[in-house]
Structure formats: C-alpha cells, structure tokens
Chain A
Amino acid sequence: MREVAIIGIGQTPVDEHWDKSLRELAGEAILKALQDAQREEVDALYVGNMMSGILTQQENLGALIADWAGLRYIEAVKVEAACSSGAAAVRQALMAVSSGLIDSAIAVGVEKMTDEKGTEITAALATAADADYETAHGVTFVGLNALIMQRYMYEYGWKHADFAPFSINSHLNAMTNPNARLHEIISEKDYASAKMISYPINLLDASPIGDGAAAVLIVPKDSLKPNHKPMITIAGSAAASDTVAVHDRKDPLWLKAAEISSRKAYQQAGVTPQDIDFFELHDAFSIMAVLSLEACGFADRGQGPRLGLDGIISRSGKLPIATLGGLKARGHPVGATGVYQIVESVLQLRGEAAENQLSKAQIAMTQNIGGSGSNIITHIIKREDR
C-alpha cells in the first residue's frame, strides 16, 4: 500500500445557488482543486452525492461531472453513503491511489438541494433512514435525532441549554469563513428561544441545508519531491457501519461505528485522541457532536456537553471543533459535507485558514456521519514537513 498526499483542494461557498446547477458546482470545485495542485488531469474521479436522483432527477454523476469538468474518458463513478457520501468518495479515491491501480484521483462531494421545496427535501433526507420501519411512520431525520437527544437528556440529566456552546461556537467560527452558509453571531438567549422543529431540537440545534461542492486531489506521496511543501498526508482512514434504524441499535445513545472507525484511524496513524490538534466533526445536530466526541474518546460516556461548557471546543481551547463553522454554520450540503471537512482541515494544516487559523495545526481529524449513525468515516490528516 502506498502512502497518499493531498496536493489540491477546492470548494464553492455553501449557499442557495439558484444560478448554478449541480454539474456547475461540482465543476467549479474540481477546477479549483486542479489549479491548486497545478495539474491538468487525473486518472479517476469519485463523486460523493446522496440525493441527485431524487432532487435533480439526475444519476450517473460520475460520467456527467467528469465530462463537464473537462475530464472526459477517465474512470468516474458516484459513491453514496447518505450524509457520509463525501468522506466515502475521499476514501474510494484514497484506496484507489493507495492500491497502486490509480496514480491520481479527485474526490468531489456535491449536493444541490435548494431547487426543491422544504417538504420534498425533508422526505429526500429521510431516505437515509429505514423506509419501511422508520420513514413510513412519518419520522423525519430531525425527528430521529430528537428521539436520541430526548433520551440522552433523560439518561444523563442534561438540560437543553447545556448544548448551546456547540451552536454558538460553530456560528462564531463561520463569521470569518467566506464560504460559510451562515454569518450570524448567536447568543445563549437566541439558542434558547429559537423556533422548535422537533422537541428538543430547535432551529439552532440543526444544521442548515444548502448547495455546494468541495474537492480534493490525491496522489501517492512517493510521486512528490521529498522536499514538497506543504506535505499533507492521510495518515488514517477507516469506515464502519451500523444498523440503519435507530431502534435496531443495541445502544441508541452510542455511535458504535464512530468508535470503531476512530479506533482504526488512530491505530493507522499511530496517534491517540490526545494527539489530535483539532476535530472537524459532524455537528448536523448538537446531539451528534456530543455523541461523536464521546465515541471517539474525547469525553466520557454521557459527558460530551462538558466539552462545550468548559470551552474546550473553541478555537483557543484544547480541542477546537468546527473551526470554519462546521455543519451548523458552514452548512450541510449533504453529500459534499465530508469533503468540506477535509478541505478545511487542509487549510488549517497549510496555515491558510486566515482569521480562523489555529496556532497549533499539525494533526487533524475529520468524521463524517451517514444516516443517524449508520455509516461513519474517520480520517486523520497530518502535516509532515514541519
């Protein structure tokens, strides 16, 4: 197996891009990644996307986007793993390059959501849940997270207000990210009084949808000059699955797939949770951020909210999370999200995060969660040349 390096990144702002189609968004991110890497071609394209068939009536995205981006004739496929489609595409690219079968690959995550109306988007998102035994009963994606959060609060005694720091932190970090969907400082009072969507989850617990695309270009590390700068490598990559339905889990309050994939990634990278400088986690809902922190070994079971309350997750804290806004405020263009997390991590590792730059950024971790925890992919990315 060959070690791999990320030599190009690209992203579009997350927004309601009424003037841009799915292929234009993906093409823009790919072009930026190619320019960033100073390349003109790659051998393969992996497209992470969840809902193009439902919301855009367009499948076959591999060929569509390769052709649009000027990469006609290369190997190209779409990868789908619900909200973790983006990281799944990155992992496919990584496995292809690492195996030696492919010498350079782009993973692009893209989602076009805002052409449709709200109830249709809600129904499309719910296709990540069990259609016969969850969705058929009218439960939404927010609803499933609300069921988990309600039980979590009951078992561990937390109040809704205890989750506020996660939303406040993400909103604050997005203020200076030009690609973020939301630029709006929020207070504890705003958090407490936001519109209820599905008790206990209100509007400020939930990430906003949006259109967007992000891309990374991956090559073998040994194809680069030894003094290549910045040398950014993927040191750990692991995926795990769990039951699609929340009700089928042994413990609905524990993200087993996050535990398994993070443990494997730590082992591959030869690190422990204490070595991680920052964590781009999947804060689609406040409760998911909490459960992710616990399953990855950053907090004890039932104690995730403590990390928010103690300021550990802020940019100046011991474990900054959502450093450019996270899903909550950068936005959650579903199938693109996992690639945004990696692009943002690379910005931090390169020292290109501008006002959001962390003082210590040597080892990054990203985690992309599909469904309500059914498919979880963890990456550990290192800067090696300093």
Chain B
Amino acid sequence: MEIPRHWRIRQQRYALVGEVCPHCNAKLFPPRDICPQCGEDARTPYQFSGKGEIYSYTTIYEPPAGFEEYTPYTVALVKLEEGPVVTAQLTDLGEQPLEIGMPVEMVTRKIRSDSDERGMIIYGYKFRPVLSRQ
C-alpha cells in the first residue's frame, strides 16, 4: 500500500499534465520544475494533447512482481506531438501490426491492481492506435 505516492501524481497519470517553461517555451513531461533546455524555473502546468507516435516498442514476457497476470503486454516509448517522450503500455491493439512511427493516442486504463482484493487499483495513461475517423 503506497496510496499517497500514486495520488500525488494523479494529474499526470489521468490527464497527462506536465509543465511548460515560461522562459523558453519547452514542454516538459513528466514535470521536473527545472527546465532541462534553459535551466530556469518551469512550474507552469501544461496539459498535453495525448497525441503522439511510437518511437520504440517491445513486448514483456518476463514481468516484474505485480504484473504477472497481465503478461505478455506491450510497452512503448511514445513521442508526444509536443516533443517529450513517455514510457507507457500500448492497449486496444487489434490485428494491425505495430510499427515505429505509428500514430497513437492516450487513453485511461487500469495499469495494475494489488493481488489483495482490498488493495489498490492503479489507473493511468496507456496509448492506443489512433482510431480512424469516418
């Protein structure tokens, strides 16, 4: 049980809220308060669009403790259209083969739950292939 730890970053997990640097306009996710581009304070919240593309991906067959029941699952580095790269699972994958460069969008999903039935269920961002708009 480590509830505050997950609660503390709910804005990031549920809404992809990062920061924008008021000095050089760099967009930051995850938030880091000091801009890595210009070294100035960067604490202005900024909500990302959730749109991006696959920078790299892999499938996990040997999971860490806590993820056994979801194995295998696919993890990616997603390059957001605003610039930053995030690590996240891919979800809602159909028959379409994955490839680097594929457009994806953020969705909120269950990431894992404690095996104890009274334990936490942890939700957060995953990314799915962009649905074709008819």
Q: Are A196 and B61 in contact (CB under 8 A)?
A: yes
Measured between beta carbons, the chain A residues less than 8 angstroms from B65 are: 119-120, 122-123
With contacts A198-B58, A199-B58 known, is A138 near B112, CB below 8 A? yes
Main secondary structure of the interface of B (DSSP, over half): strand
**Interface status of B87 (Cβ within 8 A of chain A):** yes
Query: Is the pair B87, A245 in contact by a Cβ cutoff of 8 Å?
Result: yes
The interface residues of chain A lying within 8 Å CB-to-CB of B103 are: none
CB of A147 within 8 A of CB of B57, answer yes
Cβ of A68 within 8 Å of any chain B Cβ, yes or no, is no
Known: A147-B56, A154-B100. A119 touches B64 (CB 8 A): yes
Interface 0/1 of B28-62, CB less than 8 Å to A: 00100000100000000000000000011111111
Q: Is A197 a contact of B84 with CB atoms below 8 Å?
A: no
A138 smallest CB distance to B (angstroms): 4
Interface status of B66 (Cβ within 8 A of chain A): yes
Q: What are the interface flags for A141-152 relative to B under an 8 Å C-beta threshold, 1 for contact and 0 otherwise?
A: 011001110110
Question: Is A126 among interface residues, defined by CB-CB distance under 8 A?
Answer: yes
Task: Encode A217-261 as 1/0 by CB contact (under 8 A) with B.
Answer: 000000000000000000000000000011110001000000000
**Residue of A with least CB distance to B37:** A250
Q: CA separation between A130 and B87, bound complex, in Å?
A: 10
In the assembly, what is the distance between CA of A288 and CA of B56, in Å? 16
Closest Cβ–Cβ distance, residue A338 to chain B (whole Å):
24
Binary contact track B7-37/A, C-beta < 8 Å → 1, others 0: 0010000000000000000000010000010
Chain B: which residue is nearest A133 at the CB level? B30
**Among A130, A137, A150, which residue has its beta carbon within 8 angstroms of that of B58?**
A150
Interface-centre pick from B59, B64, B85, B112 (highest chain A CB count, 10 A): B64
**A114 near B: Cβ within 8 Å?**
no
Residue of A nearest to B58 (CB): A146
Give the residue of B64, B76, B124 whose beta carbon is less than 8 angstroms from that of A122.
B64
- Residue in B58, B63, B70, B77 whose Cβ sees the most chain A Cβ within 10 Å: B58
A140 and B124 contact, CB distance less than 8 A:
no
Tell me whether A119 and B63 are in contact (CB under 8 A). yes
Task: For A198, list chain B residues within 8 Å (CB).
Answer: 58-62
Of chain A, the residue at the smallest CB distance from B5 is A132
Chain B residues in 8 Å Cβ range of A123? 64-66
Complexed CA–CA distance, A122 and B59 (Å): 15
Known: A119-B65, A136-B124. A148 touches B56 (CB 8 A): yes
Q: Counting CB contacts under 8 A, is A118 at the interface?
A: yes
Contacts of B68 in A (CB 8 A): 119
Instruction: Point out the residue from B55, B61, B75, B124 that lies within 8 Å of A139, measured CB to CB.
Output: B75
Taking a contact as CB atoms under 8 Å apart, the answer to whether B111 and A151 are in contact is no
Tell me whether B86 is interfacial, beta carbon within 8 Å.
yes
Q: How far is the CA of A358 from the CA of B122 in the complex (A)?
A: 54
- Which residue from chain B places its CB closest to the CB of A197 in the assembled complex? B62
**Chain B residue nearest to A145 in the complex (CB):** B58
Nearest-CB residue, chain B, relative to A247:
B85
Per-residue interface assignment for chain A, residues 187 to 215, with 1 indicating a CB less than 8 Å from any chain B CB and 0 otherwise:
00000000011111100000000000000
> In the complex, which of the residues B55, B66, B75, B87 contacts A133, with contact meaning CB atoms closer than 8 Å?
B87
Q: Is there contact, CB below 8 Å, between A132 and B9?
A: yes
In the complex, the chain A residue whose C-beta lies closest to that of B75 is A139
Contact across chains for A138 and B56 when beta carbons are under 8 A apart: no
B77 touches A252 (CB 8 A): yes
User: Which residues of chain B are within 8 angstroms of A245 by Cβ–Cβ distance?
Assistant: 87
Known contacts A130-B87, A151-B77, A252-B77, then 10 further A-B pairs from the complex at CB < 8 Å, ordered by chain A residue:
A122-B65, A123-B64, A137-B88, A137-B124, A138-B111, A198-B61, A199-B58, A201-B58, A245-B87, A252-B85
Q: Can you report 27 A-B residue pairs in the complex whose CB atoms are below 8 A from each other?
A: A119-B68, A120-B65, A122-B64, A123-B64, A123-B66, A133-B30, A133-B86, A133-B87, A134-B87, A135-B64, A136-B124, A137-B88, A138-B70, A138-B112, A140-B63, A151-B56, A151-B77, A154-B56, A154-B100, A198-B58, A198-B61, A198-B62, A199-B59, A200-B58, A246-B87, A247-B87, A248-B85
Residues of A within 8 A of B (CB): 118-120, 122-123, 126, 130, 132-140, 142-143, 146-148, 150-151, 154, 196-201, 245-248, 252
Residues of B participating in the A interface, judged by any CB pair closer than 8 Å: 5, 9, 30, 36, 55-68, 70, 73, 75-77, 84-89, 100, 111-112, 122, 124
